[in-house]
Structure 1
Amino acid sequence: MLTPQVGENIGLSQQLTTQVDHVFVFLEIFSCEGGIQSYVKDVFQAYLESSKPLRAEVFILRDTPGCTNPFESDRFKFHYFKTTSPLLGRVRMTAALFTHLIRQRPQHVFCGHVKLAPLVGMLCQFLGIPYTVMTYGKEVWEPLPKAMKSSLQKAAQVWTISRYTREVACTVNNLNPVQVKILPCAVDGDRLTPGQKPTTLLERYGLQDAKVLMTVARLWSGDIYKGVDITIQALPQIAEVFPEVKYLVIGRGDDQPRLAKLAKDLGVSDRVVFAGFVPTEELVEHYRLADAYIMPSQEGFGIVYLEAMACGVPVLSGDADGSAEPLLDGKLGWRVPHRDPKAVAVACIEILKGEDQRCDGQWLREMAIATFGMDAFQQRLQQEFLSLSKLL
């Protein structure tokens, strides 16, 4: 008989004295960084700040008890299931989750990734517990396997972060649009603020007296849609107007050699600076280096656009994706065909000239925070919890 690992969490039998309102189930949160993980942490923060004293249990398949977790409290209890055998970890989590759902009968279960939806859907349907599946972007842009699709179709709700993802997911996976609720990403305006370009970073990257374009992205060969290569291709045209332009690329991955070769072949390698991985706590000062944030991508939403705008940096995105939302359909930034270097170059030149209202850093920050700040996010989240309670 399988039982939870020692040290994994408090014994389940000891938790029965405390009513649990919700259960969350995720692949991973604290063992890696990315847009999904950032979004989940914002959900947790809003949950903790809810005026109603909600309590939740959180089951995480690929994190360990030793991870840094700032959300451990009497409102959140975490269960970790990472083992050297992925299959064993999944079996253990399934057993622990099933036991917990039987004993506690929470009001609602939130499935944090479509890959976990068949498991959560099976258990919740068997026990008659309503559940919500959280989606983010490209993982639901293509037709899903039958079990995943069925678990989404049978969910009480599906959450997603943009109109674009809702439209694509509903079309390709035959979901009811009424069932799919939009809960966009949030930006922390207290942490992300404008400021002077840090002298130490200007010297580190050789950006003194430069007009700085910047992108923060994974440089994986499977993620070329981020548009770093397109921005590099746009540099020669931009340099004709702004010969001091440089491109700061923050991130790491196996696609960097290809990108470096592309810059060399185009004669702009001296303009492209690969900064590598930058910890989250250092990103604010890096955003302050930028005169423009450039990512002609295909995004489910694009939290990085909000982060840049909160720092007073004008932004450029693709025009056929979920980035319409953070840019308010172009009101807050430039949207261009995402694989068009000439369009990127023209927009970058406009941004660097600084004549458009969308280049007004203070206005840009105020608009972004008013729409996507943590207060707005918390209000949306509380409305969703209220709507779910009406489903009971």
Structure 2
Amino acid sequence: MLIDTVGENLNLAEKVHGAANHVFVFLEIFAREGGIQSYVKDIFRAYSELKPGCRAEVFLLRDSSHCSNPFESDNLKFHYFQNQFSQIGRLTMAVALLKFLVYKRPQHVFCGHINLAVLIQTLCQPLGIPYTVLTYGKEVWEPLKKQEQRALASANSIWTISRYSRDRACAANGLDPQKIKMLACAIDSNKFIPGSKQPELVEKYGLDSTKVLMTVARLWSGDIYKGVDVTIRALPQIAKVFPEIKYLVIGRGDDQPRLAQLAKDLGVSDRVVFAGFVPTEELMAHYRLADAYIMPSQEGFGIVYLEAMTCGVPVLSGDDDGSADPLQDGKLGWRVPHRDPEAVAKACIEILQGNDQRCDGQWLREQAIAVFGMEAFQQRLQELLLS
């Protein structure tokens, strides 16, 4: 009773000076790069531009204060709990978060990963604080532990990035589809823009006088669903129509030797260029090398398709995944069975022939930005925060 009274008094005082009305809790954002991290950074970027009344505290389990963080501001305050002993870090964050919830009583808590959902439910429910769980992709596509399912079922809402992720999560875990809200990935149109091919990159990768297919993907043996091997298998058929074809693969991982051997076995090793890891800030220049972005994959969404389209590059995806959203059900690109080399080859030939509106780079860019640009993302985020 006393702790409640103290909490209410602090809450009143905080309102006078601008209390945080939202709390975000994530595993890690700055310590590593990936789709989830990029998505969350877009949330921070959009949140920073919301009306001044929105203020949030951000708890980061695996990040440290030494990480470069461009989002620290008056309306976004960060707390770091990285510890060499993971359980100690988790306990320290749980205690700090509980104190914050008791004394500051924020309006809403946003849980950034299913692995934190049970903790957030445990802390928020007794205090009557509503919470939302953010989901991204395959982490919720299979049946979860019962306690995680309960944490999702008890949430005020669940955010996800695509219809496909929503449907798979609901089917696997018995969730109510009405509880799930869409916050699709966003694209920064000021960062990804069309342009000419950089001569030094053309020379570096041996792409002079060639047609270039490109994929950006982790080359991990556990991620063969990205479809790099399928595209390699399609190359002999594509080469019959476009003898100058080359395939630029950006990414690294333990599956590269297998992929290189596959290219050799098929007689196309001279057509496949493994570029290795390319930093995010250099990706735009690499997209500009491509005549087509090819990834017959199974994605939760597929931000890379948006990046390519915003650079004016036509795209190919799988036909049974979250890419249906960025490709707008095929309006903006080719969707093919994701393990079918013949279908990939046929679509690649159509793209390289360039007779379809989906090959119009300027039109592609305009369409992608209209639905998935940062302005649209910010508007949707504000709608969700107010709902």
Q: What TM-score does the superposition give when structure 1 sets the normalisation length?
A: 0.94
Counterpart residue number, 1:4 = none
Counterpart residue number, 1:119 = 119
Moved segments of 4+, more than 4 Å: 15-18
Within 2, Cα distance between the matches of 1:123 and 1:384? 22
Farther-moved stretch of structure 1 (279-288 vs 252-261): 252-261
Over the matched positions of the two proteins, sequence identity in percent amounts to 71
Within 2, Cα distance between the matches of 1:126 and 1:243? 66
1:385 aligns to 2:381 (yes or no) = no
Counterpart residue number, 2:85 = 85
Q: Would the aligned equivalents of 2:332 and 2:358 in 1 still touch at CA under 8 Å? A: yes
Counterpart residue number, 1:315 = 315
Q: Which runs of 5+ in 2 are unaligned?
A: 1-9
Within 2, Cα distance between the matches of 1:145 and 1:60? 23
Counterpart residue number, 2:197 = 197
SS where residue 91 of structure 2 aligns? Answer: helix
Q: Deviations over 1:34-56 (max 9, x none)?
A: 11111101111110101243111
Instruction: Give the aligned residue type for 1:306.
Output: L
Instruction: Give the aligned residue type for 1:158.
Output: I
Counterpart residue number, 2:140 = 140
SS where residue 329 of structure 1 aligns? Answer: helix
Within 2, Cα distance between the matches of 1:371 and 1:103? 40
Within 2, Cα distance between the matches of 1:75 and 1:234? 50
1:152 aligns to 2:152 (yes or no) = yes
Report the alpha carbon displacement of residue 22 of structure 1 after superposing the two structures with TM. 0.5
Within 1, Cα distance between the matches of 2:300 and 2:235? 26
Q: Would the aligned equivalents of 2:55 and 2:75 in 1 still touch at CA under 8 Å? A: yes
Tell me how many residue pairs correspond in the alignment.
Answer: 375
SS where residue 54 of structure 1 aligns? Answer: coil
Counterpart residue number, 1:68 = 68
SS where residue 248 of structure 1 aligns? Answer: strand
Q: Deviations over 1:13-45 (max 9, x none)?
A: 9x9554011000001101111111111011111
Counterpart residue number, 2:131 = 131
Instruction: Give the aligned residue type for 2:186.
Output: A
Report 1:1-20 matches (<5 A): 18-20=18-20
Report the alpha carbon displacement of residue 109 of structure 1 after superposing the two structures with TM. 0.3
Report the alpha carbon displacement of residue 125 of structure 1 after superposing the two structures with TM. 0.8
SS where residue 89 of structure 2 aligns? Answer: helix
Instruction: Give the aligned residue type for 2:90.
Output: R
Instruction: Give the aligned residue type for 1:119.
Output: L
Q: Deviations over 1:251-296 (max 9, x none)?
A: 1111111111111111111111111111111111000000000000
SS where residue 369 of structure 1 aligns? Answer: helix
Instruction: Give the aligned residue type for 2:381.
Output: L
SS where residue 99 of structure 2 aligns? Answer: helix
Within 2, Cα distance between the matches of 1:126 and 1:245? 61
SS where residue 66 of structure 2 aligns? Answer: coil
Within 2, Cα distance between the matches of 1:148 and 1:257? 38
Instruction: Give the aligned residue type for 1:205.
Output: Y
Counterpart residue number, 1:209 = 209
Q: Which runs of 5+ in 1 are unaligned?
A: 1-11, 388-392
Q: Deviations over 1:364-387 (max 9, x none)?
A: 000000111011111111110110
Counterpart residue number, 1:270 = 270
Counterpart residue number, 2:376 = 376
Within 2, Cα distance between the matches of 1:144 and 1:385? 27
Within 1, Cα distance between the matches of 2:53 and 2:61? 26
Instruction: Give the aligned residue type for 2:49.
Output: E
SS where residue 299 of structure 2 aligns? Answer: coil
SS where residue 150 of structure 1 aligns? Answer: helix
Q: Would the aligned equivalents of 2:292 and 2:315 in 1 still touch at CA under 8 Å? A: yes
Counterpart residue number, 2:325 = 325
SS where residue 159 of structure 2 aligns? Answer: strand
Report the alpha carbon displacement of residue 171 of structure 1 after superposing the two structures with TM. 1.4
Counterpart residue number, 1:101 = 101
Instruction: Give the aligned residue type for 1:35.
Output: G
Counterpart residue number, 2:228 = 228
Within 1, Cα distance between the matches of 2:110 and 2:345? 43
Counterpart residue number, 2:292 = 292
Q: Deviations over 1:65-119 (max 9, x none)?
A: 1001100111111111111111111111111111111111100000001111111
Q: Would the aligned equivalents of 2:238 and 2:345 in 1 still touch at CA under 8 Å? A: yes
Instruction: Give the aligned residue type for 1:259.
Output: L
Within 2, Cα distance between the matches of 1:54 and 1:234? 50
Instruction: Give the aligned residue type for 2:141.
Output: W
Within 2, Cα distance between the matches of 1:162 and 1:252? 27
Counterpart residue number, 1:3 = none
Within 2, Cα distance between the matches of 1:247 and 1:102? 56
Counterpart residue number, 2:282 = 282
Q: Would the aligned equivalents of 2:52 and 2:75 in 1 still touch at CA under 8 Å? A: no
Within 2, Cα distance between the matches of 1:288 and 1:76? 35
Instruction: Give the aligned residue type for 2:153.
Output: Q
Counterpart residue number, 1:186 = 186
Instruction: Give the aligned residue type for 2:224.
Output: I
